[in-house]
Amino acid sequence: MRALVLAAPNDFAIQQVPLPVPGRNELLCRVRAISICGTDSHLVKGDYAGFWPPAYPFIPGHEWAGEVVGLGENAASHGWAVGDRVAGTSHDACGFCQLCVEGRYNLCENYGDPSVHRHYGHTWQGAFADFVVHGLKAVFHLPDTLTFAQGALLDPASIALHTANRGGIAPGDNVAVVGPGPIGLLAADAARARGAGRVIVVGRGGRLKKAAEMGSEVVDYTAVDPVATVRVSTAGLGVDIVLDCAGADDSFRWSLAMLRKGGTAAVVGIPVRDVAISFQDLVLFEKQLIGVRATAGEMRHVIPLVADGRIRVSELHTHTFPLTEFGEALATFNERREDAIKVIVEP
């Protein structure tokens, strides 16, 4: 089969590689659509080399959808058949450590042990290829009402829903989303799906315009002080919940500062360095700062929300390329050409 193979940082090519073989409780799937994630960009550049990926050569990619073409041992007895339409996610955890048993498989205590844990497209071969093998814990039935492109965006949608869940949004809450990238735009929809009374998105440029088009109130941090503006718009109190989807130095400070007393900031944006924040503000006003990693069971819940149009993944799909033009697809994503948001690759 053809696959995108990383030989070293910034050294990639489409190559012929052996077709993977599904083992027990695994499926062989034809990849019909796969989305470029920000993490993929970092992997290609080698920003996490030695961790993601642990070694080269490596096939990245984890936001995909397709169809089952081969069954490993025991897969049929769990309801899978050749021809099933599927969407994949990246974490295939051990299932028996304490955190997995408690449902927090995204924090599997055996992460990195290839004998029991696979993080597809990160520590294990991914899906920028004609075919991919995934364990049964990491694939979900794709409804006929959703396209393969929509299916490829279910994984980031599930992360957005996990972010909203970790924030603990209650009906009527005022919510600010910092960073209108793909996760931020989806998180705004997830906040509304959980019943948020108001959703205010803080950002800039074309992506902030997209947030406005999707129905959010918007604050352009290049034109105004975002903290002061959010506070004024909430009668000086601040918002109940902030979903920080930017992971930047300023965004962390803004997120805590625009919270009302007792508010919660859920942070999914991954910082590239340590950031100084005001712990005095955190303690004196009983604010909560909560980390968010990937998703923990939200795929099953996000699929009907996407199918019902309440989390609008298609709004983010701006460009499509064949696998043979991955370099152009990646450049379009990285440089935000023509206001690119989500770029889909179709093997």
Sequential DSSP letters for 108-154: -TTTT-TTT-EEBTTTB--SSBSEEEEEGGGEEEPPTTS-HHHHHTH
CATH number of domain containing 253: 3.40.50.720
The whole-number pLDDT of residue 278 equals 84
Provide, rounded to the nearest whole percent, the portion of the chain with pLDDT above 90.
Answer: 96
Domain containing residue 11: 2-152+312-346
Does a structural domain hold residue 302? no
Co-location of 124 and 74 in the same domain: yes
Contact 122, 113 (CB under 8 A): no
Q: Of 254, 244, 256, 112, which is closest to residue 178 (Cα–Cα)? A: 244
Instruction: Give CA separation, 131 vs 27, 44, 48, 299, 322, in Å.
Output: 10, 20, 25, 21, 14
Co-location of 177 and 140 in the same domain: no
The whole-number pLDDT of residue 81 equals 98
Co-location of 10 and 143 in the same domain: yes
Does a structural domain hold residue 216? yes
Between 13-17, 23-27, 250-254, 274-278, the lowest mean confidence (pLDDT) is in 274-278
Co-location of 175 and 121 in the same domain: no
Enumerate residues 6+ apart whose C-beta is below 8 A from 127. 31, 34, 59, 61, 62, 64, 88, 120, 121
The whole-number pLDDT of residue 116 equals 97
**185's tokens:** 């735009």
Predicted TM-score of the model (pTM): 0.97
Does a structural domain hold residue 95? yes
Co-location of 178 and 196 in the same domain: yes
- For 18, phi then psi, to 5°, come to -65, 145
The whole-number pLDDT of residue 275 equals 84
Does a structural domain hold residue 304? no
Co-location of 196 and 144 in the same domain: no
Co-location of 272 and 339 in the same domain: no
Does a structural domain hold residue 306? no
As a whole number of angstroms, the distance between CA 204 and CA 178 comes to: 10
Confidence of residue 270 (pLDDT cuts 50, 70, 90): confident
Co-location of 36 and 61 in the same domain: yes
pLDDT digits (tens, 9 = 90+) for 120-133: 999 999 999 999 99
Contact 176, 241 (CB under 8 A): yes
The whole-number pLDDT of residue 274 equals 84
Provide, rounded to the nearest whole percent, the portion of the chain with pLDDT above 70.
Answer: 100
The whole-number pLDDT of residue 293 equals 96
Across the chain, mean pLDDT equals: 97
Co-location of 148 and 181 in the same domain: no
Residue with tokens 């108001």: 198
Does a structural domain hold residue 300? no
Q: Of 120, 122, 119, 97, which is closest to residue 108 (Cα–Cα)? A: 97
Q: Using the predicted structure, report yes or no on whether residue 272 has a pLDDT greater than 80.
A: no
Contact 335, 327 (CB under 8 A): no
Q: Indicate the number of domains in the chain.
A: 2
Does a structural domain hold residue 55? yes
CATH number of domain containing 323: 3.90.180.10
Q: Of 102, 141, 94, which is closest to residue 118 (Cα–Cα)? A: 94
Q: Using the predicted structure, report yes or no on whether residue 39 has a pLDDT greater than 90.
A: yes
Confidence of residue 65 (pLDDT cuts 50, 70, 90): very high
Considering Cα of 206, then 157, then 326, then 345, what sign does the dihedral take? negative
User: Can you name the residues that pair with 1 across neighbouring β-strands?
Assistant: none
Residue with tokens 């599927």: 86
Burial class (CB in 10 A: 0-12, 13-18, 19+), 297: middle
**84's tokens:** 């099933």
Co-location of 230 and 131 in the same domain: no
Co-location of 52 and 137 in the same domain: yes
Co-location of 110 and 188 in the same domain: no
